């Protein structure tokens, strides 16, 4: 018996990284999981997003746990694609119990250097994508009088951060959206919470664009060059979390009986302990 037997879960950005880890953990607890991802590049993003092969690997790992799981290619910036996927899930499974709105992009730029394209892609993916998914699942969750919504914000949703103005704006906004949803559905058996991980070892961080931010004076910086800078972000002097460390917080929120809502769980190596 799993804690999520009979539940149907949608995980966005599920092709790799944290999304893959969340998807596999939910499936291991018995949920039917639909893992979706853009599985393509967004031109303004300075590192490779997930590929179709990444998504296939997630689906294969899910299917090893049960044939019922699905993958889907969906760009969360596109309302028609998000709505069509949710319609398909309802048509096939009859319900949707869990949304893990995890898809996201990052990039580094000082505010006066952010292009319209950078700004629009960032806000539209990280904030708009979560909004579209929440909007699509809510009518079904309301009908069921049951739902668990988890959005992936960030440590960058709790503070200002240099070179990340567009990312920070999207992640602060996501917390406001999540708390508002929690209030609107508070009497309907639905919870909405945000998680704020600090640095996680995924391709979003393990790439040259990130290393260059931490090592501006090194021509071709490597992970080892960036490690001291990453360690310096955390009072624990731990450079990064693994995706599974964040998944524990997601599992807590989606298995909660329904009283934890409108909150933020920071999985962050004590990095916000010095802030109010």
Which chain residues interact with ligand NAD by CB under 6 A? 12-13, 15-19, 37-38, 49-50, 74-77, 102-106, 125-126, 129, 152, 154, 197, 199-200, 202-205
Greatest alpha-carbon pair distance for the chain in Å reads 56
User: Any idea how long the chain is?
Assistant: 276
Q: DSSP readout, 121-165?
A: HHIIIIIHHHHHHHHHHHHHHHHHT-EEEEEE--GGGSS--TTBH
In 3D space, the residue among 195, 131, 123 whose CA is nearest the CA of residue 157 turns out to be 195
Nearer to ligand NAD, 41 or 180 (CB): 41
Nearer residue to ligand NAD within complex by CB, 49 or 265: 49
CB nearer ligand NAD, residue 58 or residue 146: 58
Q: Among 97, 103, 86, 104, which residue's Cα sits nearest to residue 29?
A: 97
Residue 109 near residue 165, CB atoms below 8 Å: yes
Q: CA–CA separation, 68 vs 225, rounded Å?
A: 43
Angle at 228 between CA 226 and CA 234, to 5 degrees: 115
Q: Which is nearer to ligand NAD, 22 or 140 (CB)?
A: 22
Least separation, in Å, of the C-beta of 103 and ligand NAD? 4
Report which of 215, 167, 61, 14 is spatially closest to residue 22, judged by C-alpha positions: 14
- Nearest distance, CB of residue 5 and ligand NAD, angstroms: 26
CA distance 112 to 274: 29
Work out how close the CB of 238 gets to ligand NAD at its nearest, in angstroms, rounded to a whole number. Answer: 13
Is 167 an active-site residue? yes
**Which of 129/165 has CB closer to ligand NAD?**
129
- Yes or no: say if 266 and 193 are a contact pair by the CB < 8 Å rule: no
Cα–Cα–Cα angle for 266, 185, 196, nearest 5°?
A: 10
Q: Which one is catalytic: 47, 167, 252, 259?
A: 167
* Dihedral over alpha carbons 94, 100, 101, 103 (to 10 degrees): -110
Q: Which is nearer to ligand NAD, 5 or 87 (CB)?
A: 87
Minimum CB separation from ligand NAD for residue 134, in Å?
14
Which positions are annotated as active-site residues?
167
């Amino acid at each position: 018996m799993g804690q999520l037997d009979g539940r149907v879960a949608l995980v966005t950005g599920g092709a790799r990284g944290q999304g893959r880890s969340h998807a596999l953990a939910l499936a291991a607890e018995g949920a039917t999981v639909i893992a979706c991802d853009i599985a393509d590049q967004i031109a303004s993003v300075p590192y490779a997003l997930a590929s179709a092969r990444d998504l296939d690997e997630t689906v294969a790992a899910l299917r090893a746990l049960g044939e019922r799981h699905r993958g889907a290619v969906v760009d969360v910036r596109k309302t028609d694609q998000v709505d069509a996927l949710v319609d398909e899930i309802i048509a096939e499974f009859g319900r949707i119990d869990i949304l893990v709105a995890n898809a996201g992009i990052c990039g580094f730029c000082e505010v006066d250097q952010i292009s319209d394209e950078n700004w629009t892609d960032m806000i539209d993916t990280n904030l708009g994508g979560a909004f579209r998914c929440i909007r699509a699942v809510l009518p079904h969750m309301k009908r069921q009088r049951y739902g668990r919504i988890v959005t992936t914000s960030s440590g960058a949703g709790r503070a200002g951060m240099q070179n990340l103005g567009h990312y920070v704006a999207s992640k602060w906004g996501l917390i406001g959206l999540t708390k508002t949803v929690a209030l609107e559905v508070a009497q309907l058996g639905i919870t909405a919470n945000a998680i704020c991980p600090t640095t996680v070892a995924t391709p979003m961080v393990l790439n040259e664009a990130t290393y260059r931010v931490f090592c501006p004076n090194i021509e071709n910086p490597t992970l080892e060059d960036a490690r001291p800078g990453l360690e310096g972000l955390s009072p624990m002097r731990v450079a990064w979390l693994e995706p599974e460390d964040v998944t524990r917080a997601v599992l807590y929120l989606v298995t909660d009986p329904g009283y934890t809502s409108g909150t933020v769980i920071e999985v962050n190596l004590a990095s916000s302990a010095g802030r109010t």
